[in-house]
Every structure is written in structure tokens, then in C-alpha cells.
Amino acid sequence: MTPEERQARREARRQWLDSRQAETGLPMAGIPGPDDRRRLSPEERQRLRRDVHEAGREFYPRDSRRPEGPEGPPPGSARPPRQP
């Protein structure tokens, strides 16, 4: 795909999105427009990163990521235990 074709497709998509937005009267979901977007301060960025990290730890606790019994990994795991 040439750069001209890519630009034409991008422009057609933008026009389609604009027409859809005009029909509904609501902004399209997803990436906010340049008016709605703002830079995060370093403190806000750090707090957001920490919150996301904590949420990930809550949903995927370290203990339950790869449960292993006394006989080794559970059956059907990705690879067999290494033989010495």
C-alpha cells in the first residue's frame, strides 16, 4: 500500500467517523479528541501506574499464576520438568 493510498484510507475513515458523530450527536468512543486530551503530571502518571499495577496483582496473585504441586507442575503444562 502506497503512502497516498494509506492517506486516502485515513481520510475516508475520518470522514466516516465525522458523519457517524454528526448522526448520533455523541462523540465517538475511544481516543479522546485534542480538546479533551491533557497531559498527566508526573504525580498523576505515577499514581495511575501504581493503581494499574495493584489491580493486576489483585486479579493475578503471584501464588496462583503457575500452581505447582509437590510432584511438579500440573498435567498439561507448557513444558515437562527438566531431567537432570
Three-class SS state of 5: helix
The torsion angles phi and psi of 69, rounded to 5 degrees, stand at -85, -175
Instruction: Quote the CA–CA distance of 82 and 84 in Å, as a whole number.
Output: 6
Per-residue model confidence as pLDDT tens digits over 5-52: 999 999 998 888 888 777 776 666 666 666 656 677 889 889 989 998
| Residue spans per domain, the chain | 38-62
Measured in residues, the chain has a length of 84
Distance between alpha carbon 47 and the CA centroid of its chain, in Å?
A: 18
For residue 65, pLDDT beyond 60: no
What is the model's pTM? 0.31
